[in-house]
Copies of this chain bind each other. A is one copy, B any other.
Amino acid sequence: MDQDLAFLRSEIDECDTELVAILAKRNRITEQVGKIKRSLGAPVYIPERESQLLAARRTQAELQGVSGDLIEDILRRMMRESYQNQQSELACVAPQLSPAVIVGGEGVMGQLFARQLKRSGIEVRILDKKQHCFASEILEGAKLVLVSVPINKVEEIIKGLPKLDDDCLLVDITSIKQQPVAAMLDAHSGPVLGLHPMFGPDIEHWVKQTIVVCHGRKNDKADLLLAQLKIWGAQLVEMAPKKHDEAMQIVQVMRHLTTFVYGQFLAKQTHSLQEIKDCSSPIYQLELMMVGRLFAQSPELYSDIMLAQFDNVESLLEDYKDIYQQTLVKLKNRDKAGLIAGFSDAKSYFSNSAESFLKQSRALLNKANDSKVLE
């Protein structure tokens, strides 16, 4: 029997060895695909191709008694690799934006944009503190100026820019949009565009990554940059600067605050993190992970971020506190009707998404369980 098991295991190892070979072959093909897409001016991500490929393989799998979800999960993971393989050289649909200048090009986000523009064949010049004395030379003839600087410096830096050519596109990628866009419109008479990439500098590819777009002064040049972002696979969402800034406060500020409070609350308890983890279902473990990851940051840096964000949010903070307080009162009075009413409000807000959130989070929880390593 032990021998039978050993034999079956060697058969599994053979399967998996074949799998490695397939992955190596697929890598070679997708690199070629990247090169051809570049010469065709085609985007990295083509939704129809992705969905057709998945549907065909699901059908095929199910005919052979293989779960459709299994093959889809694996193919999606392989597509991530494929999108990454296509990053080294990218199609360019906006040669008119060359040369581009990244103001703050030595920061991590500035580098990310610089790299991506270069991969698309656009000439990129860096203008950071070090190059300050040569600002006019660097900016001379620039067709795109992208400002990627800390939030507390952005207005000052935009105001301090030398006069740009009228056909130059001025763009910023700050996480707030009202002031930077207003400052750019004030400083420059040509096309102006505000972007907020909803991702950090460590992304492996740009496919399906969201970028919020706030139009400043529309123009063909701005459209060209947006077309280039789509070539990279980004998902663009247009929004008014004010709407964007309010949403950011609701999302970031409040989540920061409640996560920060909850982490401190846990630290005050007499239970160790391990004991808390042991008594957490997968969903609570995931929530614990979301809280804990915040505290991987530097206390100093994080406190600065919080202080910078907590202007003009008093009413949001009061809203949250009021609802917390009301909920406690309902619980104390065993006011079931009141709890149901509160729940129903939120339920209709989330409406159909609640079910899809449940489904998506289940998929993530399964993935989290797959990755567990026990002794």
1/0 contact string of A1-31 vs chain B (CB within 8 Å): 1101100110111011111111111110110
Would you call B65 and A323 a contact (CB within 8 A)?
no
Determine whether the beta carbon of A354 is less than 8 Å from that of B261.
Answer: no
A268-295 contacts to B (CB < 8 Å)? 268-271, 273, 275-276, 278-284, 286-290, 292-295
Cross-chain contact A8 with B20 (CB below 8 angstroms):
no
B residues less than 8 Å from A224 (CB atoms): none
Q: Are B299 and A271 in contact (CB under 8 A)?
A: no
A133 at interface (Cβ–Cβ under 8 A)?
no
A295 with B243: CB separation less than 8 A: no
Query: In this assembly, does A39 line the interface, its C-beta being within 8 Å of a C-beta of chain B?
Result: yes
If A22-B19, A303-B339, A303-B340 touch, does A364 touch B368 (CB 8 Å cutoff)?
A: yes
Interface of A is mostly: helix
Asked if A186 lies at the interface with its beta carbon under 8 angstroms from chain B, I say: no
A111 to chain B, nearest CB (A): 18
Q: Whole-angstrom distance between the alpha carbons of A32 and B279 in the complex?
A: 35
A95 to B235 alpha-carbon distance, docked (Å): 58
Please measure, in the bound complex, the distance between the C-alpha atom of A131 and the C-alpha atom of B369, giving whole angstroms: 37
Count of chain A residues near B, Cβ 8 A: 165
| Contact B5 A40, beta carbon cutoff 8 Å | yes
Confirm or deny: A157 has a beta carbon within 8 angstroms of a beta carbon on chain B.
no
Residues A263 and B200 in contact in the complex (CB < 8 Å), given A1-B40, A74-B78, A286-B290:
no
Q: Given the complex of chains A and B, what is the CA–CA distance between A237 and B278 in angstroms?
A: 7
Beta-carbon contacts under 8 Å, A324-364 to B: 324-325, 327-328, 331, 334, 336, 339-340, 342-351, 353-355, 357-358, 360-364
Contact between B303 and A370 (Cβ–Cβ < 8 Å)? Answer: no
Decide: A350 near B292, CB < 8 A? Known: A284-B252, A327-B257. Answer: yes
Give chain B nearest CB distance to A349 CB in angstroms: 4
Beyond known contacts A12-B29, A264-B345: 4 more, CB 8 A cutoff: A5-B36, A8-B29, A243-B271, A293-B354
